[in-house]
């Protein structure tokens, strides 16, 4: 055994682990805190408990004493026992109302990795403590120069399944092909809840990917506060901001939605209200991503211009052009743009039209916007520009209308948009294969309640529920891709997928494709949402109730299907993809990208050690690892050697004799230095 150790270096160990993924030695997660009574006196600290930071990243620190019945005369705020003002090197800005007191310090950072405890105590008896974890990005192994993040908005697991079926077909139970995203070897599942609710929206879920922090529904790059203004809430720095501030990397934002919508906005913005779209457009201007492509030109046009949604006369097109941006307003102009240094393309005043309607030139829906590009051409143009920066780039690409069509229960248009995004993933994959320094991450921000339950067939004269075929009656659907473009030639075939939803209003489902996107429900004179007959191929069908689906959501508040809390898929490819595995919180996706880049935004220096996950190393050597939660002891068994590491005392023994084992515990994982574990086992 000693001979085998001699040929292993710590560098080789690290490389092997990066190739095979990492293992975990975990401790139990503490129980969630009970929600505070809404109007009871309380302490709120932002960032919140269990927040995790990349060392050196910027954030705003805020403490609120809310719903006070009497003002405290003194308040103590400490970080690891040190007065907060002294710890951060800045004084508090103190404010108050007749029922609250606030203490705020903006643009602070924690440079040194470790665990930090914030304690707030007031002399009226109020007190609260939260803990933070500050980490350095992993510097070991091959690093990515570029990161491309694809977000299929609302893309639940079943959406991938139905899109694969419609795109590739299935014969005798085997798929005739796979989507591009299916071919990525590294896979994980992501949990999506925000800090304030089980079910998230796109704002705070996309914000988690871009900042590593939770937020509240409608929040972007912030923790919520108690003020009315949506633009003064405590900020957390986004990945794009870090990369521009510390590395000079380029940034691209591409979406089929308004470019100010939640997911693209999360790359650059800080607001409690995702609807602050005019302000978000200006936040894009402030950061100036080198590539901006999507819809939403209404917020770039001055108020006096027809179609504008601004309340002032700012012309953001002129402002961007003065900064050297090439402007494109349609697909023809985008095609003509030959890898400019900066590229701004906005192809609709609102959200871009969905792929099906664009590809069929459905003028009833397109109106005057008949020359919109597809997502894979937008992605290619973005790569042409961004790859000119030898310092690297971060590109976020969103398939936005997967979500925007699942809301109105138009699963067919959602599937077409999923396939469109998958073709854009193919463009990125080919770039990454040639480049060799690019990591691609594909995921969703949240899920919808869509599911594939069988097939629908009226060939024997049945319709409605009686034509809904399950189990052995669910014969394979008959979609055809005659021209080989990856899309079914038509969504209406004789045997279709039978797709159902779990969270929806009353609506009609006759499994006939809607000529134009149509709302599933309409409000009646009593103020309740009821099924919309316009969803039917024959709205005047006297027996139309055979197609009626009784809703599950509140009929007075919800007119469309809503998000769900289901986990979402993640696929990764390229250098750094090993950081994405198992079950991940959505905030962990940020840290995976930071680790892939080896992003160091801190003054802290690496200790020069090659840290490897203990469990992965031991498993690779054919050994076993056991963790005793009550004693916090890790027992390692490799051949005839038994090593015991006590995480409380830091002491280690081998076969009963004291040894030195360099270790650290971060984010639920025990790491050891490659050289020390080799030395311990070789003795």
Show the tokens assigned to 624.
């076993």
Instruction: Report the alpha-carbon distance of residue 565 to residue 569 in Å, rounded.
Output: 13
Show the tokens assigned to 485.
């473009």
**Residue among 52, 107, 53, 61 nearest 84 (CA):** 61
673 is catalytic: no
Q: How many CB atoms lie within 10 A of CB 210?
A: 28
Instruction: Give 362's contacts (C-beta < 8 A, 6+ positions apart).
Output: 353, 356, 515, 516
Instruction: Give 171's contacts (C-beta < 8 A, 6+ positions apart).
Output: 476
504 contacts 549 by C-beta, under 8 angstroms: yes
400 contacts 554 by C-beta, under 8 angstroms: no
Residue whose tokens read 């920066």? 389
511 contacts 464 by C-beta, under 8 angstroms: no
Classify each residue of 512-531 as buried b or exposed e, where b means 16 or more C-beta atoms within 10 Å of its C-beta. Answer: bebeebebbbbeeeeeebbb
Instruction: Report the alpha-carbon distance of residue 48 to residue 172 in Å, rounded.
Output: 52
Q: How many CB atoms lie within 10 A of CB 624?
A: 11
Instruction: Report the alpha-carbon distance of residue 649 to residue 531 in Å, rounded.
Output: 65
Residue whose tokens read 């005047």? 540
Instruction: Report the alpha-carbon distance of residue 76 to residue 82 in Å, rounded.
Output: 10
Which residues does residue 496 pair with via DSSP β-bridges, in sequence order?
456
Instruction: Report the alpha-carbon distance of residue 598 to residue 144 in Å, rounded.
Output: 8
Instruction: Report the alpha-carbon distance of residue 395 to residue 293 in Å, rounded.
Output: 11
Show the tokens assigned to 90.
């800045």
| DSSP H or E run through 435 | helix 411-435
Cα dihedral 499, 501, 506, 507, rounded to 10, equals -20
120 contacts 576 by C-beta, under 8 angstroms: no
- Per the document, the length of the chain is 683
Instruction: Report the alpha-carbon distance of residue 63 to residue 103 in Å, rounded.
Output: 5
Instruction: Report the alpha-carbon distance of residue 178 to residue 164 in Å, rounded.
Output: 7
Q: What is the DSSP string of 441-498?
A: EEE-SSEE-EEEEEEEE-TTS--GGGGEE-GGG-PPP----TT-SSS-S-S--SEEEE
Q: How many CB atoms lie within 10 A of CB 306?
A: 7
Distances 33 to 199, 455, 668 between C-alpha atoms, Å: 18, 45, 19
Catalytic residue of the set 57, 202, 269, 474: 202
Region class of 236: left (phi > 0), else alpha (psi between -120 and 50), else beta: beta
Instruction: Report the alpha-carbon distance of residue 339 to residue 436 in Å, rounded.
Output: 21
Which residue numbers are catalytic? 202
């Amino acid at each position: 055994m000693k001979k085998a150790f001699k040929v292993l270096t710590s560098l080789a160990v690290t490389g092997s682990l990066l190739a095979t993924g990492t293992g975990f030695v975990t401790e139990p997660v503490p129980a969630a805190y009970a929600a505070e009574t809404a109007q009871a006196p309380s302490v709120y600290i932002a960032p919140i408990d269990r927040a995790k930071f990349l060392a050196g990243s910027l954030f705003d620190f805020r403490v609120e004493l809310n719903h006070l019945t009497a003002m405290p005369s003194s308040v103590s705020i400490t970080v690891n026992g040190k007065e907060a003002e002294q710890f951060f090197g800045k004084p508090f800005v103190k404010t108050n109302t007749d029922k609250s007191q606030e203490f705020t310090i903006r643009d602070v950072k924690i440079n040194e990795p470790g665990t930090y405890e914030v304690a707030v105590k007031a002399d009226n008896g109020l007190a609260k403590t939260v803990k933070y974890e500050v980490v350095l990005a992993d510097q070991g192994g091959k690093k990515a120069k570029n990161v491309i993040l694809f977000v299929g908005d609302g893309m639940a697991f079943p959406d991938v399944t139905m899109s694969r079926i419609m795109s590739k077909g299935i014969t005798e139970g085997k798929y005739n092909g796979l989507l591009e995203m299916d071919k990525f070897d590294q896979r994980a599942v992501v949990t999506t809840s925000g800090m304030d609710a089980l079910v998230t929206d796109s704002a705070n879920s996309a914000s988690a990917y871009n900042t590593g922090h939770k937020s509240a529904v409608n929040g972007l790059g912030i923790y919520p506060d108690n003020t009315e203004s949506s633009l003064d809430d405590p900020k957390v720095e986004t990945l794009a901001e870090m990369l521009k501030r510390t590395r000079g990397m380029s940034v691209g934002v591409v979406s089929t939605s308004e470019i100010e919508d939640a997911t693209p906005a999360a790359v650059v913005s800080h607001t409690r209200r995702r609807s602050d779209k005019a302000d978000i457009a200006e936040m894009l201007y402030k950061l100036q991503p080198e590539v901006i492509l999507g819809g939403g030109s209404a917020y770039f046009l001055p108020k006096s211009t027809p179609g504008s949604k601004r309340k002032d006369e700012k012309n953001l097109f002129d402002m961007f052009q003065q900064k050297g941006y090439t402007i494109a307003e349609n697909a023809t102009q985008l095609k003509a743009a030959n890898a400019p240094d900066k590229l701004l393309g906005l192809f609709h005043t609102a959200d871009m039209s969905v792929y099906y309607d664009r590809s069929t030139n459905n003028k009833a829906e397109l109106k005057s916007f008949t020359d919109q590009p597809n997502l894979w051409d937008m992605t290619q143009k973005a790569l042409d520009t961004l790859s000119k920066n030898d310092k690297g780039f971060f590109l976020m690409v969103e398939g936005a209308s997967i979500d925007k069509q699942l809301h109105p229960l138009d699963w067919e248009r959602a599937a077409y948009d999923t396939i469109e995004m998958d073709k854009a993933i193919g463009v990125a994959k080919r770039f990454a294969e040639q480049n060799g320094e690019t990591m691609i991450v594909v995921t969703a921000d949240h899920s919808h309640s869509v599911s594939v339950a069988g097939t629908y067939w009226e060939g024997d004269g049945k319709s409605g529920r009686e034509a809904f075929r399950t189990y052995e009656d669910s014969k394979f659907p008959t979609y055809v891709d005659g021209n080989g473009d990856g899309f079914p030639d038509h969504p209406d075939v004789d045997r279709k997928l039978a797709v159902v939803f779990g969270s929806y209003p009353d609506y009609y489902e006759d499994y006939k494709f809607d000529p134009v996107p149509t709302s599933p429900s309409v409000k009646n004179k009593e103020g309740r949402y009821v099924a919309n007959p316009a969803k039917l191929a024959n709205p005047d069908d006297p027996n139309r109730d055979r197609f009626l689906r009784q809703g599950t959501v509140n009929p007075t508040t919800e007119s469309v299907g809503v998000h769900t809390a289901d986990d979402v898929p993640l696929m990764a490819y390229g250098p750094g993809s090993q950081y994405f595995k198992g079950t991940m919180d959505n905030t962990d996706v940020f840290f995976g990208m930071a680790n892939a880049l080896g992003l160091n935004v801190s003054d802290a220096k690496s200790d020069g050690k090659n840290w490897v996950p203990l469990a992965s190393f031991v498993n690779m050597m054919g050994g076993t690892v056991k963790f005793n939660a009550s004693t916090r002891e890790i027992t390692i068994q490799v051949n005839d050697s038994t090593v015991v590491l006590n995480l409380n005392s830091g002491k280690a023994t081998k076969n009963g004799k004291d040894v030195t084992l360099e270790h650290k515990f971060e984010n639920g994982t025990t790491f050891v230095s490659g050289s020390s574990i080799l030395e311990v086992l070789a003795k």
